[in-house]
């Protein structure tokens, strides 16, 4: 039968019977893990009878998209008693001042929480601001144990701000190396209170078993934060695997159109949520209502964009793996990826990020990037257009040279964020750029 969330269970359908042909057609159409309804409606109108699910309370005008509320302050009928506490987008707080709560921001936060399958979500003006809010959960003298291959901006913040200026030590480790992890925990002397994980990592796409790290952090009375930007809520839900906090740069896949800078932190823990909300209001690093509107619009097509981009990425990864001018390709969907089995087990798909190493050196890598015509040479990722960059010279230039070498962030490494253009055009573009840049260079 057809269930309320769109799955086909076989047998008679409700409300009306369907034959196998129709059932097969429905199954073929619903390849999105039933995410589409959640992304568009937050509360499924077929399974939730609340007025919030029908948008009656939050949008009495009948408009089918949330309104952009630009008001900075809100009228009160009684001093100290904010209005609209019943509005689900106010998270039970009502509205008094837009830094504290905004209707447009509230509906976006509820939508991301639903997408990440968590109870709470708090939005910030950037992914870096979201990261900072998580660090604000700690106290001076406590420690962070972070994955070694981490976004360049995050490691820079950890090394140059958190460690020297906040009195919070940060150490880096490969969570896949049990001996190294245990050594770090032993030297941490019980002060490690936050595990910071990216999986897949940026830019080498290392995959770590979230559940294993979650078990470890609970044994050590700590918190686990997972930066889920590369997978998006569509391909991975870390909270279901034991993470206490899920962080996103909304700028990337959630928004998906290269026109918003924003971040979020999601959690199921009410106390953590309250602390994050306090920091959001106290520090004031909030996104604008218009940015929230745009990001919400982007979220509504996340499932469509992720599937299209991932199909392109899989084909491109296979193509690059066979190319004479490429020495190595790293993509979680390839069986050659060292953590392919972990990615298959904990993710719903392999994503649209690819890292590859070209033959030659820095000069050849630069020429490849300069010869691309469909891919744009630009930082960032996760948008509908395809982007290419050199992490050693761009996004991860702030990582110390010695650390870059240890992590494999070499001058020949090129990171691709695959978009939704024609797959044929993207492959032709890469082939042309590789051949032009490496003409006369010895190939494999």
User: What pLDDT, on a 0 to 100 scale, did the predictor assign at position 376?
Assistant: 97
**Which pTM was predicted?**
0.92
List the catalytic residues.
99, 151, 227, 252
The 10s digit of each residue's pLDDT in 255-292 is 999 999 999 999 999 999 999 999 999 999 999 999 99
Query: 357 Cβ partners below 8 Å, 6+ apart?
Result: 326, 327, 328, 329, 410, 412, 413, 414
The 10s digit of each residue's pLDDT in 43-68 is 877 776 654 554 545 567 888 899 99
The 10s digit of each residue's pLDDT in 319-350 is 999 999 999 999 999 999 999 999 999 999 99
Nearest to 306 by CA among 314, 316, 296, 317: 314
Q: 10, 26 in Cβ contact below 8 A?
A: no
Q: Please, which pLDDT band fits residue 17 given cuts at 50, 70 and 90?
A: low
Q: Which two tokens stand for residue 197?
A: 């994980």
Pinpoint the alpha helices (H) of 208-269.
210-219, 232-235
3-state class (DSSP) for residue 93: coil
The 10s digit of each residue's pLDDT in 376-434 is 999 999 999 999 999 888 878 878 888 888 888 889 999 999 999 999 999 999 999 99
User: What pLDDT, on a 0 to 100 scale, did the predictor assign at position 400?
Assistant: 80
∠ CA 115-83-268, rounded to 5°: 30
Q: Is 164 exposed, middle or buried (0-12, 13-18, 19+ CB in 10 A)?
A: exposed
Q: Which two tokens stand for residue 328?
A: 């190595």
């Amino acid at each position: 039968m057809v269930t309320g969330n769109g799955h086909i269970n076989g047998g008679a359908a409700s409300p009306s019977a369907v034959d196998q042909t129709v059932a097969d057609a429905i199954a073929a159409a619903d390849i999105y893990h039933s995410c589409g309804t959640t992304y568009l409606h937050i509360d499924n109108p077929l399974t939730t009878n609340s007025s919030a699910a029908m948008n009656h309370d939050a949008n009495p005008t009948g408009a089918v998209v949330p309104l952009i509320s630009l008001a900075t302050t809100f009228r009160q009928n009684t001093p100290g008693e904010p209005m609209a506490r019943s509005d689900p987008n106010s998270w039970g707080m009502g509205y008094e001042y837009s830094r504290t709560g905004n209707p447009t921001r509230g509906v976006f936060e509820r939508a991301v929480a639903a997408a990440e399958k968590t109870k709470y979500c708090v939005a910030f003006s950037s992914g870096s601001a979201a990261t900072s809010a998580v660090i604000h959960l700690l106290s001076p003298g406590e420690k962070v144990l972070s994955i070694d291959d981490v976004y360049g901006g995050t490691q820079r913040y950890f090394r140059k701000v958190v460690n020297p200026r906040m009195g919070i030590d940060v150490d880096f480790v490969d969570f896949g190396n049990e001996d190294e992890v245990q050594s770090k925990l032993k030297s941490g002397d019980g002060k490690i209170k936050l595990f910071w994980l990216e999986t897949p990592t940026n830019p080498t796409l290392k995959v770590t078993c979230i559940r294993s790290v979650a078990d470890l952090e609970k044994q050590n009375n700590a918190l686990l934060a997972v930066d889920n930007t590369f997978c998006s809520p569509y391909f991975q839900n870390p909270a279901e695997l034991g993470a206490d906090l899920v962080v996103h740069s909304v700028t990337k896949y959630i928004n998906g159109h290269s026109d918003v800078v924003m971040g979020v932190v999601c959690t199921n823990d009410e106390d953590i949520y309250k602390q994050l909300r306090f920091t959001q209001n106290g520090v004031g690093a909030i996104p604008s209502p218009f940015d929230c509107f745009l990001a919400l619009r982007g979220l509504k097509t996340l499932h469509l964009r992720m599937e299209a981009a991932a199909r392109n990425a899989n084909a491109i990864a296979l193509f690059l793996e066979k190319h004479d001018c490429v020495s190595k390709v790293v993509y979680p969907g390839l069986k050659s990826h060292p953590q392919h089995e972990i990615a298959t087990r904990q993710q719903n798909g392999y994503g649209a990020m690819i890292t590859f190493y070209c033959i030659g050196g820095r000069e050849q890598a630069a020429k490849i990037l300069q010869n691309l015509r469909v891919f744009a040479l630009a930082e960032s990722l996760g948008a509908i257009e395809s982007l290419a960059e050199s992490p050693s010279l761009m996004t991860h230039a702030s990582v110390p040279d010695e650390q870059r070498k240890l992590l494999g962030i070499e001058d020949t490494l090129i990171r691709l964020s695959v978009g939704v253009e024609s797959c044929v055009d993207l492959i032709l573009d890469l082939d042309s750029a590789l051949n032009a840049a490496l003409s006369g260079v010895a190939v494999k």
